Chains A and B, each alone.
Chain A
Amino acid sequence: GQNIDQPTEMTATEGAIVQINCTYQTSGFNGLFWYQQHAGEAPTFLSYNVLDGLEEKGRFSSFLSRSKGYSYLLLKELQMKDSASYLCSVLGGNTPLVFGKGTRLSVIA
């Protein structure tokens, strides 16, 4: 099976940088995804990692270490609109896309 862990809640200040960690255990590995979800809305895709290293996309970056079963999402220059839940999800060897419980990020002034 798969197990995905991420912190439940985080708070950060507008303009700052925040790192949201995700650890996972999976049989086989076909990639790790990060999604953003505002309350009551659909999740939207942020990033995809399948090889070790850092993927940068504007203010958002995502890092993966397959040997450690670890990923993080880095959000820079935080804005109030970044207040949302961030979902880590893993695609296993022959398993569907499963999600962690998500990290609720609150950005404060």
Chain B
Amino acid sequence: DSGVTQTPKHLITATGQRVTLRCSPRSGDLSVYWYQQSLDQGLQFLIQYYNGEERAKGNILERFSAQQFPDLHSELNLSSLELGDSALYFCASSSTFGRNAEAFFGQGTRLTVV
């Protein structure tokens, strides 16, 4: 158990809908990352937060947004869903930003858009 909790584990929804994925980082970790992994693809970096502020942004679609709350949990909002958004979405947390920032991953949310 990495200590990172993601909910829900599975989500099935229709095209055009909006969903929210939730992540609780390890206790004490200030940095949260979101990644998307499509079938047989690598981990695509979406966005990073550090202590409540957006720190870095990857190839995140405009239909997607995220935030990190004062209690450090984070949510990833996906709207106007398309079939191609079906993927595993991972959240990871780390204690620092920079050196030795080993990231611990949650078990992921498997999103299926039908």
Residues of chain A touching chain B, judged by Cβ–Cβ distance below 8 Å, are: 30-31, 33, 40-45, 48, 50, 87, 91, 95-102
**At the interface, yes or no: B64 with Cβ under 8 Å from chain A?**
no
Interface of A is mostly: loop
Please indicate the chain A residues that have their CB under 8 angstroms from the CB of B113 in the complex.
none
* Complex CA distance for A93 and B99, rounded to whole angstroms: 9
Question: With A41-B107, A42-B105 given, is the CB distance from A101 to B41 under 8 Å?
Answer: yes
In this complex, how many residues of chain B approach chain A with their Cβ under 8 Å: the count is: 27
Give the tally of cross-chain contacts (CB within 8 A): 59
Q: Apart from A43-B43, A99-B45, what are 17 other A-B pairs with CB-CB below 8 Å?
A: A30-B99, A30-B101, A31-B100, A31-B101, A33-B102, A41-B108, A42-B107, A42-B108, A45-B102, A50-B100, A87-B43, A97-B45, A97-B92, A98-B58, A99-B35, A99-B43, A100-B42
